[in-house]
Amino acid sequence: MNLERSINNILKRLEEIESQETINKDKIDSDQAARQRYDEYKEHWYFHKSSWYMRGLNAYDEQGCNGFTGCIPECKFYPKEGKLSEDESFL
């Protein structure tokens, strides 16, 4: 009886560990996807809210995000690294 209980406890604990490992892997995958999304959006500066393109100008006016100097501090993509959830966008 004690042996059976011990075996059941071990099996239950193994299931808990396996479940936790799956959760951790999913979180890591989600974090990597969020970082990758951020990097891709950061690269497309012309769709950032502060870019001359999104402000409706015909050319760069030395303000806002651009392909030469990058993002301005007010831009959500200014930090070198970040995360962007699936429901977030450029703006």
3-class DSSP state of 83? coil
Residue 30 covered by a domain = yes
Residue-level pLDDT at 55: 93
The C-alpha atoms of residue 34 and residue 50 are separated, in whole angstroms, by: 22
Higher confidence at residue 69 or residue 25?
69
Residue 11 covered by a domain = yes
Q: Is the pLDDT of residue 91 over 60?
A: no
Residue 91 covered by a domain = no
The C-alpha atoms of residue 26 and residue 50 are separated, in whole angstroms, by: 34
Alpha carbons within 13 angstroms on the beta-carbon side of residue 44 total: 11
Residue 3 covered by a domain = yes
Number of domains in the chain: 1
The 10s digit of each residue's pLDDT in 61-77 is 989 998 888 899 999 89
pTM to 2 decimal places: 0.60
Could you tell me the residue range of the domain that residue 59 belongs to? 1-84
Residue 65 covered by a domain = yes
Query: 12: which 2 tokens?
Result: 């239950």
Are 67 and 43 in contact, with CB atoms under 8 Å apart? Answer: no
Residue-level pLDDT at 1: 64
